Structure 1
Amino acid sequence: MKATILCIGDEVLCGDVLNSNGTFFAKELTEIGIEVVKHVVVSDDEDMVEGAFNDAVNISDLIITTGGLGPTLDDMTKEAIAKVTGRPLEENAEARHHVETYFKNKEKDFVLTPNNFRQALFPKGAKILSNDRGTAPGALLEIDDKMIIMLPGPPRENTHMYNKHIKEYLMNKLNKFFAVKDYMTAGIGESEIEYRMRDLLPDLDGVNVNTYFNDSGVKVKAVSKADNLKHAVENLDKIDDIIMNNFKEYIYSVKGETLPQKFVALLKSMGLTFSCAESCTGGLLASYLTEIPGVSEVFMGSAVTYTNEIKHSLLGVKNETLKKYGAVSSQCVEEMALGCAERFNSDVAISISGIAGPDGGTPEKPVGTVYMGFYYKGEVTYTKYNITGERKRVQMRSAYYSLNNMLKIMQ
């Protein structure tokens, strides 16, 4: 099966909005064995959309569109598709009910206006795809041997809709069985993983292993496709043995969890509580953790102790330590971690202090020097990193590295 991804919107074309939709759908389709032959971005212009859609129909079995389903006059995706397919737009009762219900449940600042009902118009014969996260429903249209899937532009909406409505539908169309496993790694680069795997992995029909870099590390996704489930699982098991035997020390999860999610899950399973003290990361570590629902069961609190005075008064870091070794030192972060655990009465504590840049470095402690302290079971340890890159990267990597190190200590 061949597919074209058609992303529609002036905001994407001119670069104001990152085209993450194209990346997401290209990866998802590839992983289930659909060949993406073209990826197009066009403006909110009916003629342009019509032309791009016509091209897609000629070369693809599946066309996925994102964007252009909104209530304004420049949202022309459905109009263009209606013209090309010869299926006139008609109001869909299910779609109209969705729009009405969405506004009924929204805050009072959001007013339902007549143009919102443009979002209930779809080409004749389209099946409506509900959207739990926005006003615009999507639609699926099958014409002869072509499948047309229309989705709204916002990624938080269309990715959810893909997983809820579309993925299983496409897999059924392929008439294949899949076995999938995600290996979440940290402490090893994507290029090293790819290089080492070249000679390790056997050439198995229907098996794909790909690497994807993310903020906290690298995800290795293994997908096995076969005519029956038993064969798919057998091939995946062969790949699993190789990956686990060669990369086990770097794998922190095989469930697709992020580092913060894995850390919180481990704390819960062990019945432990956590706190953190941050300097150069300015509360970023705490922010990552509090994004996770249910973290209040284990997270006691955090302290952003940016100055030496606050490190001393809040965490009890000795003035002598700060004078002799400085705030960016193993001695300081160890005292920060201990003081944090004591003041928050937590079982586990992490401290971070470093030089995020772009200024403030010295020959002895250049920009990117970061120390991390770890309190666990009454013992305090530390580690040091020299992180390259701009200020934001140093902060982000520091937060993730600290979690990965604590996971290794606890497991």
Structure 2
Amino acid sequence: MTIQSAEILSVGTELLLGETLDTNGFFLAGQLAELGISTYRHTVVGDNAKRIEKAITDALEHNDLVITTGGLGPTADDLSGVVAAKVAGFRLVSDPLINRRIDDRYALRNQSRHVVCPSIPKDKQNVFVVRSSKSHVVYPLVPEGATLFMNENGTSPGALMMFDWSLSSGESKKKAILLLPGPPNEMEPMFLREVRPVLEKITPERLIHRYVHLTGIGEPDAEAAVRDLVDQQTNPTIAVYVRDGDVSFRITQRLTGCENEEDRTETLIDVIKERLGAYIYEIGTRNLPEVVRDKLLESGATCAFAESCTGGLAASLMARVPGASDVFKGGVVTYTNAMKTDVLGVPDHLLSEEGSVSAACARAMAEGLYHLTGAVYTVSVTGFAGPAGGTIKYPVGTVFIACRSRKGTRVIERHYSGSRANIQDRAAYASIDLLYRSIESL
């Protein structure tokens, strides 16, 4: 069979109650797009057998593939595997190889396999697990004849079931159900290592994805600059989206498998570069902090951060980048005026006359941080994140960011709206943007 469309079914009452954030749908939709599989719909359903069955059967009516995440564990409310096997007509069996690999994994980690399970009436017991009569060992049952995927970080294997399915029209078609565990640390590596290679063999098309990342420009202006390209798109296509403070373009070309097929994404990227080149910091997959790290490494320079209203968020953005220790000296949070004076040497009279939220204070913080750390680039952030605070001159959302370098100290003023957290996040990212522009002399 070939797979062209899919529906993602996230299972778990905790998702519907807002107790757990469903990141699996986000991850899987991106993976399917790269494989050339269109995601028809993403559905969330609670731990209820009838509702899960209805969601699966509805999805099979419109899609070649249904992917479930969650509901494969040993408890009474883990129902996805049982229900999906019933729908697809697969018998559940114990697999010796899976059991042995689970034993080997626990032995390697020197962990006990004894699991304390709640007492469940036999007629209500989730048959997707089998309990050894000699101990409380919990082994999974798997769909007989399915393609199985080992779980390196848990005990619930994944499974791909392919079968004939009768549509409401009476027509019979090949369908597939992919069962995946719910925890992202189990699901994501399983998908990348084992599932994706299998799906690649049964997808009719391939996609080329190219990414263009911009900074220092808002989504409306960026979208307006390429509106004609979006309106005229056929293959390749262009999509505009915002993530982590960036505006990004995703250029996608579908490959049909013809010999000597041309990669046409480069032509589209050249047009974007002509129009928005001043804002492009990356054509590829790196984010802005990663690009900043590489730029600093190339020049042998270092950076440091002094933060007030962002409380260390900007420094955290740099610290998340692998290899940051080669270029990132550290950061200080000088939230009070006393800390600004004691740690960074910001003069008392400046704070009294100009205020802690001012261009003068941001400049003094960046320059004081240079004397403290000796970093080539020192960045400071101060502002009113709200909801309280602010003045008539500088209302809530006003932020001053400074970057001191060998060429001098540059200060910018920004005004943001939204929640306290939103203002803090945007200010932190803007500080990385100013650092990048200072490095590039933009």
Deviations 1:251-272 (A, max 9, x none): 2222222222222222223221
In the aligned structure 2, how far is the partner of 1:290 from the partner of 1:101? 36
1:120 aligns with 2:122: no
Secondary structure at 1:87 match in 2: coil
- State the alpha-carbon separation in 2 of the partners of residues 39 and 282 from structure 1: 36
TM-score of the superposed pair, with normalisation by structure 1: 0.90
Equivalent of 2:79, from 76, 81, 94? 76
Q: Determine the C-alpha separation between the residues in 2 that align with 1:375 and 1:229.
A: 54
**After the TM superposition, which residues 351-370 of structure 1 pair with which residues of structure 2 at under 5 Å, given as runs?**
351-370=380-399
Percentage of identical aligned residues: 34
Quick check: 1:274 aligned with 2:306? no
1:330 matches 2:359: yes
Contact 2:34 2:209 in 1 (8 A): no
Distance 2:224 2:21 in 1: 30
Aligned partner of 1:265 in structure 2 is 294
Describe the SS at the equivalent of 1:173.
Answer: coil
1:95 counterpart = 2:115: no
CA contact (8 A) 1:129 1:138 kept: yes
Corresponding residue for 2:7? 4
Q: What do residues 109-156 of structure 1 show as CA deviations (whole Å, max 9, x unaligned)?
A: x86417686563210122222344444332222335322211112334
Which residue type is aligned with residue 115 of structure 2? T
- Under a length normalisation based on structure 2, what TM-score does the superposition of the two structures give? 0.85
Q: Residue 69 of structure 1 contacts residue 119 of structure 1 at CA under 8 Å; is this kept in 2?
A: no
Higher helix share: 1
Computed over aligned residues only, the root mean square deviation of the Cα atoms, in angstroms, reads 2.6
Matched residue type, 2:66:
I
Partner of 1:59: 62
Q: Matched residues in 1 for 2:96 and 2:370: separation? A: 58
Residue 328 of structure 1, CA deviation = 1.1
Q: CA deviation at 1:313?
A: 1.4
Q: 2:185 matched to 1:165? A: no
**Structure 2 equivalent of residue 371 of structure 1:** 400
1:49 paired to 2:52: yes
Task: Pick the aligned partner of 1:319 from 328, 332, 348.
Answer: 348
**Alpha-carbon separation, structure 2, partners of 1:349 and 1:134:** 44
Distance 1:245 1:139 in 2: 48
**Match of residue 217 from structure 2:** 188
CA drift at 1:401:
0.5
Where 2:392 maps in the other structure, the secondary structure is coil
Q: For the residues of structure 2 that align with 1:368 and 1:32, how far apart are their CA atoms?
A: 42
**Separation (CA, whole Å) in 2 of partners of 1:184 and 1:40:** 30
1:138 aligns with 2:138: no
Higher alpha-carbon Rg = 2
**Does 234-243 or 368-377 show the bigger shift?**
234-243
Matched position secondary structure for 1:182: strand
Structure 1 SS opposite 2:371: helix
Q: Which runs of 5+ in 1 are unaligned?
A: none
Q: Which moved more, 1:75-84 or 1:248-257?
A: 248-257
CA offsets 1:323-348 (integer angstroms, 9 cap, x no match): 22111111111121111122112111
Query: Equivalent residue of 2:385, what SS?
Result: coil
AA of the residue aligned to 1:149? L
User: Could you tell which deviates more after superposition, 227-236 or 307-316?
Assistant: 227-236
Mapped partners of 2:51, 2:359: distance in 1: 60
Q: How many residues align?
A: 410
Give the whole-Å Cα distance in 2 for the aligned partners of 1:346 and 1:98.
51
- Say which SS state the counterpart of residue 247 (structure 1) adopts: helix
Deviation at 1:229, TM superposition (A): 7.6
State the distance in 1 between where 2:76 and 2:334 align: 51
1:296 and 2:316 aligned: no
Matched letter for residue 251 of structure 2? A
- SS of the residue 1:121 aligns to: strand
Name the CA distance, whole Å, in 1 between partners of 2:215 and 2:347.
Answer: 34
